[in-house]
Amino acid sequence: MDARADDKSDYDRRSAARYMTLFQSLDRNADGAVTRLETQGDLNFSPRFDDMDINRDGVVTAAELQRYVDREHPTHESGQQR
């Protein structure tokens, strides 16, 4: 009965994992953050750069990406209260 909810959370979990993998592959100098230059040309990351860069300092850190992913693909119970 809850198959659809399971699919949704599974999708969200995979999306979150994909963003993290993408982040690591784009972080060429491995400093734990990606600059606009590092994301340039990546069609998944580049268009969302401004949304992810919460403090607008021109780099997206792992913490900022985590917050973005949490908001877009919540995998926790938060927001599900009735």
Binding site for Ca ion (CB under 5 A): 27, 29, 31, 53, 55, 57
**In the complex with Ca ion, which residue's Cβ is closer, 19 or 53?**
53
CB of 73 vs Ca ion, minimal distance in Å: 19
Phi, psi (rounded to 5 degrees) for 60: -105, 115
Nearest to Ca ion of 10, 25 (CB atom): 25
Which is closer to Ca ion, CB of 7 or CB of 57?
Answer: 57
